[in-house]
Chain A
Amino acid sequence: MIRIESVTKQYKGSSRPALNNVSLEIEKGDFVFLVGASGSGKSSLMRLMLREDIPTSGSVHVLGENLVGIPSRRIPYFRRKLGVVFQDFRLLPSKTVAQNVAFSLEVIGKSQAFIQEAVPDVLAMVGLEGKADRLPSELSGGEQQRVALARAIVNKPAVLLADEPTGNLDPATSEGIMALLERINLAGTTVVMATHDRGIVDRLQKRVVEMREGEIFRDQRSAGYIKTQTDSHPVKSWNLSIGESWSLGGDE
């Protein structure tokens, strides 16, 4: 499903490679947490899997595509087989919930008939029935992330990449999002989730890939988010971001 072989990524102007000889294999139906401090290489790895970037050396295969050699005109078609969600939701503020989801189908040329059937279905699945005509600004953070998830999965992707999807959410709301991700995973979609959220990782006991300074430090099945001395700094910043989420949560 996803095969990364001895990948090194060196950004221009930085002395240390962002990824250093990383190899990773993710099977169909896996649920993988990608954990590690900021700057450990999680985001670089996600970017490679999305073909936002190419490695300096090594190979990246996702869904049978060799992402190093793929011609640029095929990249859009590759991305259609992938779903992506981010910490900041990335919704269009001027479009309603239903239009946001429909937009992603319109731009890949799906028929109006297909869109009219698929959008309400996927909104019901993420628990947003009745909110189709709301604008993103009228929704809570958790609901906005559900819209983003609906958009990511409406095209039934084989792989879902989630870059800190709960990073802006309070723990209770995060629970709901995680339950949704598990359901998506149970339906057969491979889920790769980069996160700092220790509570979630510890509770779900899924496969954990821990990155440190551009290398894979640990790759363990049914594991937790083991805290070590070097992690103390990012955990502090994580606490801070949760504090902000709580005040946001108060508005709901």
Chain B
Amino acid sequence: MRFGFVLGEIGHGLRRNVSMVISVILVTFISLTFVGTASLLQLQIGQMKNYWYDRAQVAVYLCTDVSPSDACPQGEASTDLKTAVEDKLKSSLLQPYIKHFYFEDHQQAYAKFEQQFAGNSVAKYVSPTQLNETFWVSLKDANKSQIITESFSGMAGVEEVKDQRTYLDQIFSILNAASLAAIGIAALMLVSAVLLISTTIRLSAFSRRREIGIMRLVGASNFYIQLPFILEGVVAATIGSALAAAAVLSVVQFFVQGYLATRLPFTSFVNLSDAFLVAPALVVAGILLSAIASGFAIRRYLRI
């Protein structure tokens, strides 16, 4: 195997098809950037889930005078009923699951409501007694909210038990849909990248059919004939995937950490160490993909 000869052949092929090589580079660049962004978005969703699920509480809303009568036939929950709920939360049955809980009365709920809807005219029409008194329960394991729900639903004086995670799940499903869309686009572009690579390789082989014919006649091995073509595709795709890796790294460094993280300080975002996991995977994926695509193309084109 003469290394210099193979390198020379690759350079020759790349120069001959400059425009096709550039399009291969661009398509792999863009498609792998999509793949990288989508996987970072997945990582981000995972991180946010960890962060927010930990903080999500289960709310045990107590009855008010304006509660629907099928849940609260007796109207406003009496002090006895409140004590019953509190006792149940403190009971040895539920204690192992509960980190801590606190009680929010009408006034506190109203203060929170006013704060949330400051400047909104709706605040004027709401009186403290219309807002539920609530036991806010933080769980040791956010996945076990079912236990609280089952224990308190239907209990006298309890209007509703609500796990805050159900609100979060909506947000996460939107984010999930976005990352799935990105992956879908990436998959389409990867298909076109593969097709483009095989077309480029065929073109390259066609423009060198004389050399190939002579190589076959004098008994060059298939590997030797095919290697420059396969490497040609690999070189182009490697450049493209390196660009994609760089793009993903800079998106994380300059957009996520430099912009988002400074404006939304209470959210944990993906950082460079996550991006450094994704970037090499992109390069490896690009190399594998192009090697398979060009190997397949040249094998079909160059029968013995």
B9 to A: closest C-beta gap in Å: 9
Most-contacted residue by chain B among A92, A103, A107, A108 (CB, 10 A) = A107
* A103, B214: Cβ atoms closer than 8 Å: yes
* A79, B222: Cβ atoms closer than 8 Å: no
Residues of chain A lying within 8 A (CB to CB) of residue B222? 72-73, 76
* B219, A90: Cβ atoms closer than 8 Å: no
Residue of B whose beta carbon sits closest to that of A151: B218
Q: Does B216 contact A (CB under 8 A)?
A: yes
A151 to B304, CA, bound (A): 21
* Size class of the B contact interface (CB-based, 8 Å): 10 to 19
Chain A residues with CB under 8 Å of chain B are 50-51, 72-73, 75-82, 84, 90, 92, 103-104, 106-109, 112, 151, 155
Residues of chain B lying within 8 A (CB to CB) of residue A103? 211, 214
* A72, B304: Cβ atoms closer than 8 Å: yes
Q: Does B188 contact A (CB under 8 A)?
A: no
Residue of A whose beta carbon sits closest to that of B8: A106
* B210, A108: Cβ atoms closer than 8 Å: no
B287 to A: closest C-beta gap in Å: 25
Q: Does B99 contact A (CB under 8 A)?
A: no
B231 to A: closest C-beta gap in Å: 15
* A107, B210: Cβ atoms closer than 8 Å: no
Chain B residues with CB under 8 Å of chain A are 1-2, 5, 210-211, 213-222, 224-225, 304
* A107, B224: Cβ atoms closer than 8 Å: yes
A155 to B217, CA, bound (A): 12
Residue of A whose beta carbon sits closest to that of B218: A104
User: How many contacting A-B pairs (Cβ < 8 A)?
Assistant: 55
Other A-B pairs, 16, CB within 8 Å; known A92-B211, A106-B5: A73-B222, A75-B304, A76-B219, A76-B220, A76-B304, A79-B217, A80-B219, A90-B214, A104-B214, A107-B5, A107-B224, A108-B218, A108-B224, A109-B224, A151-B218, A155-B218
A68 to B: closest C-beta gap in Å: 14
B207 to A: closest C-beta gap in Å: 12
Residue of B whose beta carbon sits closest to that of A73: B222
Residues of chain B lying within 8 A (CB to CB) of residue A108? 218-221, 224
Residue of A whose beta carbon sits closest to that of B225: A107
Known: A76-B221, A92-B210. A107 touches B1 (CB 8 A): no
* B213, A90: Cβ atoms closer than 8 Å: yes
* B217, A90: Cβ atoms closer than 8 Å: yes
Residue of A whose beta carbon sits closest to that of B208: A92
